[in-house]
Amino acid sequence: MRVRVTITRRDEIADPQGAAVERGLRDLGFGDVTGVRINRIIDLTVDDDDEAAVEAQVAEMCQKLLANPVMEDFAISVGTPA
């Protein structure tokens, strides 16, 4: 089963990479750009047909490795094509 995990940095956590991209865009003449945040998408294939079991397994993966629970939130979408 295909799974997409979207990992986002919490709003209250600084995003130095996003800030650097924002400065770079402004330097290139894109002065209207503000609030740049850099997030991650991870696509997985899990060999299981039970959607609830897959979602639970991927949530555990996120909590243990894929996301930093102190700084990041994650959303899981099961059945998403890559």
Tokens of 7: 């990992």
> Cα–Cα distances in Å, from 47 out to 1, 2, 33, 53, 60?
6, 9, 41, 11, 16
> E strands, the chain, where?
2-9, 40-45, 72-78
Query: Domain of 38?
Result: 2-78
- Predicted pLDDT of residue 60: 98
- Predicted pLDDT of residue 30: 97
Q: What is the CATH number of the domain that holds 59?
A: 3.30.1280.10
Per-residue tens of pLDDT for the chain, all 82 residues: 999 999 999 999 999 999 999 999 999 999 999 999 999 999 999 999 999 999 999 999 999 999 999 999 999 999 866 5
Q: Report the SS3 class of residue 11.
A: coil
- Predicted pLDDT of residue 80: 61
- Predicted pLDDT of residue 32: 96
The whole-model pTM stands at 0.86
Number of folded domains that form the chain: 1
